[in-house]
Chains A and B, each alone.
Chain A
Amino acid sequence: MELRKGYLKDEPVESIYFGGGTPSLLEESEIRLLIDQIRENHSVERDVEITFEANPENLSIEYLECLKSLGINRISIGIQSFNDLQLKYLNRNHNANEAINSFENARRVGFDNINIDLIYGISEENTIWQANISQALDLSPEHISAYCLTIEEKTVFGNWHKTGKLLGINEETGASHFESAHTSLSKAGFQHYEISNFCKPGLYAKHNTSYWKNRKYLGVGPGAHSYDMNTRQYNVSNNALYIKSLNGGNFSSKVEKLTTIDKVNECLLTGLRTIWGCNLEEINNKHGIDLLEKKIRSINHLLSSGLGKLDKATLSLTTSGWLIADKIVSDLMID
């Protein structure tokens, strides 16, 4: 962390996130060391959001108390489903009871900002998904991330799919699960602020939001990435190599410089996933690319077909637009 101290310049830290893999493997002393290091090397805002990501089976009262004492103020629980069969199907190490217990433990210890991760599109019917949503609402979390099960080649799910361990679902099913999540959660007072994210009014995940709002971030650890508005950097993902390079006292990462076109395309990609959309005028001022002029046909089509909205110069997608956001974004991208 010392080595990367200069990366964020002197800007204050707004959020810290322990995630990506299994941070719950860390000992109390290790977490403490990391937080101390951040405070030593950077100025940290008073209302900093410090999130810790964990699976239900690791969230005992003791562990949660320890997290709390370290200053962690947000917990994100990888519950995925409250259905034992589905959890087995996804090869999870917890069951529905443990999932509910972990959430209640976190509350008991005093966490007042908790996220639940859920997965939909696991099987064709909608009833289990509806039940999962109701169960989540019963717990009354501040934040829910609802992801569609994604089967991509060269991933664990991809391999399962290939060997028949995991079945894919219909596009129509995925769409209707998405729609029922939107309807039920909105009715329960949640704000659908990003394609896969819902929160109680105002309680956006600060950290994740910074990715979509084009803010700087510094990633630490093997495979982590960082962004300074001009380049994206990737640390080596091999543990041994990562440690070796650090011990040598130098830090090496793959750096990718973003061209103006890359930056505009990334703005579209991330901005249109959120309720905040993309401010086309700002893009034009900053990058000299007038999307409103270049893409007028596509934009008009989005507006007339109810897939998009234009508020002054800010283009955003409607819920039905979000369902085909990738298609829309690739049409709007420039080359």
Chain B
Amino acid sequence: MDNIRNFCIIAHIDHGKSTLADRLLESTGTVSGRDMQAQLLDNMDLERERGITIKSHAIQMDYSKDGNLYILNLIDTPGHVDFSYEVSRSIAACEGALLVVDASQGIEAQTISNLYLAIEHDLEIIPVLNKIDLPGAMVEEVSDQIMDLIGCKREDILLASAKEGIGITEILEAIVNKVPAPGGDPNAPLQAMIFDSMYNPFRGVEVILRVFNGTMNKGDLVKFFNTGKTYNVDEVGILKLNHQPVKSIGAGNVGYLVSGIKEAREVKVGDTITHVDNPTKQAIKGFEDVKPMVFAGIYPVETSEYEELRSSLEKLQLNDASLVWEPETSAALGFGFRCGFLGMLHLEIVQERLEREFDMTVITTVPSVQYHAIKTDKSIIKVNAPSEMPEGNLISHVEEPFIKAQIITKSDFIGVVIKLCMDKRGTIGNQVYLTADRVELSFEMPLAEIVFDFFDRLKTISRGYASLDYELIGFRKSDVIKLDIKLNNDKVDALSAIVHRAKAYEWGKRLCVKLRELLPRQMFEIAIQASIGSKVIARESVRAMRKNVIAKCYGGDITRKRKLLEKQKKGKKRMRQIGNVEIPQEAFMAVLKLD
């Protein structure tokens, strides 16, 4: 156990975590040259396509130093704020963290927030200044920032280039020397924590765990604390590039477990596993429940696929513990699920994964934050969907979630950033200069104003020199109202939105215009109306289709033409028919892209 080191790599997005992981895997001989590829641990198609890490990924390396063999368990984590739950769970399985900072960018918002997560868990922090090969690397300056931030000495900061392979040996040495060996007693009762899991259609649920005390052997009878269910350990193993079965995993180590669990619901991330004989009395403190930032309905396009969607969500949840959901019904869309996400990217990824990994075709409704409708007796109704908002006369007032936002930017952009935040109903708090031209601004503002397109706007106005982190600070009274949309006089609940009164008219107007662009023309005219209560505040219309027919259809054209029309029909799959209007998926998202 003295030779085990558990560490994760944390950083702001794109600062080079996965590339650094590549170098560590290479230099410890964990992957052969033949298997090597850039960002090897980003093995989901979605990760490779988008060039970002979405899932934390654990892998074990062997490393010899001074005649001793060390086992290094590395966890690469995502940097995007929407996946911070992945980071916090990884941290719980480690004793140390490499805090990577891009030398050309300096400290950014998630550098700080992820560092704080690590410090809260008493992790040993090893600062790594990456990308020193870049011409724009500001080694001195960024080192100063890091020293300020974590209170370390200049010589504690390791200079590296993950791309060029510079500084890799020093990093491995530091991991062995500085990260404490895990505590725990291999002879104590078994105490292992589930920190990730995934669904395998052949083997059932695979659980990724960290053993804190005791030893788990193949063939043992184990019990999951949360459900009380018992299982036979069919296979335990360590996480090499491929899973590698072993006889047992002892205290301090990280590994996986297969025990033929078919029901996704039986596994909960954060749960403790112990032996049926000689169980531990104490469960390990699990994870705090995730607080979703945005909610949206997910509905099957084919209403008959509701149960299949439920089971797909259950399986996906195994591998994405930040996803929460409960059943809901919509007058327009039928049976579906109201899901909570950590942000818009998260929502997009969930939708994509449902389609790619589970072959579902789904419709996502207009996302919304959670509001509190306060009744006259002060009781609270939690409103996750606009349709759940009670009528005005039934409540005393509505409260909306506020966040505290930390924005780090260059001093040149202070003006435009403040302007943007004010437009978004924000109030400015502190201004702290990190260096002469880098400043950290704090704001308080409604969550609803930033979850959607705020970040893109921020990036644009600051030409990329701004990063954002935020946390919920509570609910505040707010003058919001429900805006409804009618298509040919049918109210489409899935298009309703809750908006601030001062912005309602403008919103209604723009939403109608946007819908006019997005709704495909049909055989008849479509009337679009936005209303507050019974009052129509904006209207538009989509003219009927006038001409849609090919001129010639003789012998050779017939099959080609049939295929073309069949293809058009398939393209419509992603549309939901409401009344006799077809609504494409983009329309539900249109609400978010109004600015």
Could you list which residues of chain A lie within 8 angstroms of chain B, going by C-beta atoms?
A: 147-150, 171-172, 174-175, 178, 195-196, 208, 211-212, 217, 219, 223-225, 227, 232, 234, 256, 258, 262, 265-266, 269-270, 273, 301, 305, 307, 322-331, 333, 335
Shortest CB distance A154–B (Å): 12
- Nearest B residue to A301 by beta-carbon distance? B580
Identify which of residues 497-529 in chain B touch chain A, using a CB-to-CB cut-off of 8 Å.
522-524
- Find residues 543-593 in chain B having any chain A CB closer than 8 Å to their own CB: 545-556, 558-559, 561-562, 565-566, 568-570, 580
Nearest residue (CB) in B for A148 is: B551
| Complex alpha-carbon distance, A301 and B550, angstroms | 22
**In whole angstroms, how far apart are the Cα atoms of A318 and B551 in the complex?**
16
Residue of A175, A232, A324 near B523 (CB, 8 A) is: A324
Which of chain B's residues have a CB closer than 8 A to the CB of A219? 555-556
Summarize B's interface: helix, strand, loop or mixed. loop
A-B contact list, 9 entries, CB within 8 Å = A148-B551, A172-B547, A175-B546, A195-B551, A234-B556, A256-B559, A269-B562, A324-B547, A329-B565
CB distance from B575 to the nearest CB of A (A): 12
- Across the interface, B565 reaches (CB within 8 A) one of A211, A223, A269, namely A269
Q: What CA separation (Å) do A328 and B558 show in the bound complex?
A: 16
Give me 15 other A-B pairs in contact (C-beta within 8 A), A211-B555, A329-B565 excluded: A150-B550, A150-B552, A178-B547, A211-B553, A269-B558, A269-B565, A270-B553, A305-B524, A323-B549, A324-B549, A326-B565, A328-B523, A333-B566, A335-B569, A335-B570
Task: Tell whether, in the assembled complex, residue A269 and residue B552 are in contact, meaning their CB atoms are under 8 Å apart.
Answer: no
Contacts of A328 in B (CB 8 A): 523
Q: Which B residues are in CB contact (< 8 Å) with A174?
A: 546-547
Tell me which residues across on chain B come within 8 A of A172, comparing CB atoms: 546-547
Query: Which B185-226 residues sit within 8 Å CB-CB of chain A?
Result: none
For the complex of A and B, 4 pairs with smallest distance between CB atoms: A147-B551, A330-B565, A175-B547, A325-B549
Contact A225 B556 (CB under 8 A): yes
A257 to chain B, nearest CB (A): 11
Known: A328-B523, A335-B566. A266 touches B558 (CB 8 A): yes
A211 adjacent to B558 (CB under 8 Å): yes
> Chain B nearest CB: distance from A61 CB in Å?
30
How many angstroms between the C-alpha atoms of A174 and B522 in the bound complex? 17
Q: Quick one: closest A residue to B577, CB to CB?
A: A297
How many residue-residue contacts, CB under 8 A, span A and B? 97
Closest to B545 in A: A324
CB distance from A258 to the nearest CB of B (A): 8
Residue numbers in A under 8 Å from B545 (CB-CB): 324, 327
B521, closest chain A residue (CB): A327
Bound form: Cα–Cα A217–B554 in Å = 11
Q: Contacts A175-B546, A305-B524, A323-B546; is A265 near B566 (CB within 8 Å)? A: yes
A330 contacts B559, CB within 8 Å? no
Interface residues of B (CB under 8 A from A): 522-524, 545-556, 558-559, 561-562, 565-566, 568-570, 580
Query: What residues of B have a CB within 8 angstroms of the CB of A148 in the complex?
Result: 547, 551
Query: What's the Cα separation between A325 and B381 when bound, in Å?
Result: 51
Distance (Å) between the CB of B342 and the closest chain A CB? 37
Chain A residues, CB < 8 A from B558: 211, 232, 266, 269-270
Q: Is the CB of A208 within 8 A of B554?
A: yes
- Assess the B547–A269 pair: CB atoms within 8 A: no
Tell me which residues across on chain A come within 8 A of B554, comparing CB atoms.
208, 211
B550 contacts A330, C-beta separation under 8 Å? no
Task: Check B569 against A301 for contact (C-beta < 8 Å).
Answer: no
CB-based nearest B residue for A265: B562
Cβ-neighbour of A266 out of B549, B550, B562 (below 8 A): B562
Contact of A330 among B524, B553, B556, B566 (CB under 8 A): B566
- Of the candidates A195, A212, A225, A232, the one whose C-beta lies within 8 Å of that of B549 is A195
Q: Which of B523, B553, B562, B580 is A327 in contact with, Cβ under 8 Å?
A: B523
**Contacting pair A147 B566 (CB below 8 A):** no
Residues A225 and B555 in contact in the complex (CB < 8 Å), given A324-B545, A330-B566: yes
Q: Which residue of B lies closest to A323 (CB)?
A: B547
Return chain B residues, CB-CB under 8 Å to A266. Answer: 558-559, 562
CB proximity of A92 to chain B, nearest CB, Å: 17
The interface residues of chain B lying within 8 Å CB-to-CB of A149 are 551
Complex: how many Å from CA A335 to CA B524?
24
- Chain B residues whose CB sits within 8 angstroms of the CB of A331 once the complex forms: 569
Complex CA gap A122/B524 in Å reads 27
- Chain B residues with CB below 8 A from A329, complex form: 565
Closest residue to A328 on the B side, CB-wise? B523
Closest residue to B524 on the A side, CB-wise? A305
- Contact with A269, one of B522, B546, B551, B561 (Cβ below 8 angstroms): B561
Residues of B within 8 A of A232 (CB): 558-559
Minimum CB–CB distance for B173 against chain A, Å: 61
Whole-angstrom distance from the CB of B569 to the nearest CB of chain A? 5
In the bound complex, CA of A324 to CA of B568 (Å)? 14
Q: What residues on A are CB-neighbors of B561 within 8 Å?
A: 269
A330 touches B569 (CB 8 A): yes
The answer to whether B551 touches A196 (Cβ under 8 A) is yes
Give bound CA distance, A256 to B555, whole Å.
14
Minimum Cβ distance to chain A for residue B333 (Å): 18
